[in-house]
Amino acid sequence: MSIHHFLSFGVAAAVLASAAGAQAQAPAEFYKGKTVTMVIGSAPGGGYDALGRAVARHLPKHIPGNPTLVPQNMSGAGGIIPGNHLYRAAAKDGTVIGTVNNTVPFEPMFGTKEATYDATQFNWLGTPSVEIGLVALWNTSKVNNIDDLRKIEINVGASGANSTPSFYARLLNETLGAKMKIVVGYPGQNEAFLAMERGELDGYPSTFYSALTSTRPEWLRDKKVKLIVQYGPMKLAALPDVPFAPDLLTKDEDKALLNVAFAPLAIGRPFLMPPGVPADRVAAMRKAFEDVFKDPEFIAEANKLQLSVDTPRTGEQLQKEIETAYKAPPELLARLRRLAQQ
């Protein structure tokens, strides 16, 4: 063996030994002195950004080794760009975590070609809450209950034909027999809310109770809106008199459709790690998220920011929810794709 080959062999052996050593490190030893990047899959200033940064302030003390944590916003294509990044480009050693819009894990299931990741291969870490959707109508609307919603056509706002509000409006129209006419062109929920106040729209088909209490508390206090139906993984205890969509269905195939369609709501505001991260680091990070969601200081800050953190779910629960959705029968998934892409 020449001296050149000998040195090359030695360098390669050293690199392999170093890599093996890193893999063998306990999580506390690995994370000590490290910087962990949190990819926040949305633009600055929104709800996901506020929650991600609140978690980032409290999470390091719960991670073994207490690394530094740096938030980094990455938005685009409704969260698909950060989803692709976390799957393909992000480091897979445990130094990158992320939070994405709850529709992102299901984009491939809905047939979105730009989503080139396998959501079941991510390491899901947990969520501080689930989401419950509401059909909220302005007080002047002729619709007062679910029966009226089935008889009277009303205008509801959405950003685009393939947006989340449009999808849930079509879903409820098909399964409940509702007569919501979707009016597109409103950039977001706030613009649609303003249109309701101006009398341009009857309502909005996909708002959350937490959004109403944090952005329009006077609407509920002064009875400016009527909540016609709620939907999602569970019935909201704070709204016992608002009908729960799954309770209104009689066909098993419609109930099965809602179960899968509500999967994004059931995973709330999810946090994740890329695929391929060593199992012990995933376990340590999942435990850290469980602990931060119970942390009184985090909860106090989240409440001050009017962020919903009252129904936490573990990484294992999110993993199961996502895997179950992808195992749905082909005919059910085809029906979902039809409703999602119109």
209-230 confidence digits (pLDDT tens): 877 887 788 999 999 999 999 9
SS3 category, 127: strand
Q: Which residues pair with 183 in a beta bridge?
A: 157
pLDDT of res. 75: 87
Q: Residue 284 has which token pair?
A: 């340590």
Provide CB contacts within 8 A for 208, sequence distance 6+.
131, 132, 133, 134, 308
The Cα–Cα gap between 253 and 249 comes to 10
Total-model pTM = 0.86
pLDDT at residue 182 greater than cutoff 60: yes
pLDDT of res. 190: 86
SS3 category, 84: helix
Neighbours of 9 (CB within 10 A): 11
- Chain segment 11-63, per-residue pLDDT in tens: 444 444 444 445 578 999 999 999 999 999 988 887 889 999 999 999 999 99
Same-domain status, 43 and 112: yes
The Cα–Cα gap between 338 and 342 comes to 7
Residue type, 56: A
pLDDT of res. 18: 46
| Residue 52 burial class via C-beta count within 10 angstroms: exposed 0-12, middle 13-18, buried 19 and up | buried
Same-domain status, 249 and 154: yes
Integer angstrom CA distances of residue 168 from 7, 164, 286: 63, 6, 31
- 285 within domain boundaries: yes
Same-domain status, 76 and 108: yes
- 276 within domain boundaries: yes
Same-domain status, 276 and 320: yes
- The rounded radius of gyration (Å) of the Cα atoms in the chain is 23
Residue type, 342: Q
Mean pLDDT is lowest, of 17-21, 112-116, 177-181, for 17-21
Mean pLDDT is lowest, of 18-32, 64-78, 119-133, 281-295, for 18-32
The Cα–Cα gap between 101 and 242 comes to 26
Q: Which residues pair with 36 in a beta bridge?
A: 69
Integer angstrom CA distances of residue 265 from 88, 89, 103, 262: 25, 27, 8, 5
Provide CB contacts within 8 A for 35, sequence distance 6+.
67, 68, 69, 70, 95
pLDDT of res. 46: 77
Domain stops at, among 264, 279, 311: 264
CATH (domain of 224): 3.40.190.10
For residue 118, what is the DSSP state? -
- 11 within domain boundaries: no
Same-domain status, 253 and 287: no
pLDDT of res. 47: 81
Write out the H or E segment, with its range, that includes residue 56: helix 47-58
pLDDT at residue 331 greater than cutoff 90: yes
* Structural domain containing residue 145: 133-264
- 1 within domain boundaries: no
Mean pLDDT taken over the chain: 91
pLDDT of res. 23: 56
DSSP class per residue in 224-265: -EEEEEEESSS--TT-TTSPBGGGG---HHHHHHHHHHTHHH
Provide CB contacts within 8 A for 59, sequence distance 6+.
69, 288, 289, 292
> Do residues 53 and 86 make contact, with C-beta atoms less than 8 angstroms apart?
no
Residue type, 180: M
Same-domain status, 234 and 297: no
The Cα–Cα gap between 79 and 329 comes to 26
Percent of the chain topping pLDDT 90: 78
Same-domain status, 113 and 145: no
pLDDT of res. 16: 44
- 334 within domain boundaries: yes
| Residue 107 burial class via C-beta count within 10 angstroms: exposed 0-12, middle 13-18, buried 19 and up | buried
- 2 within domain boundaries: no
Domain stops at, among 237, 264, 291: 264
Domain stops at, among 264, 281, 313: 264
Same-domain status, 111 and 173: no
- 60 within domain boundaries: yes
Same-domain status, 63 and 174: no
Count how many domains the chain has: 2
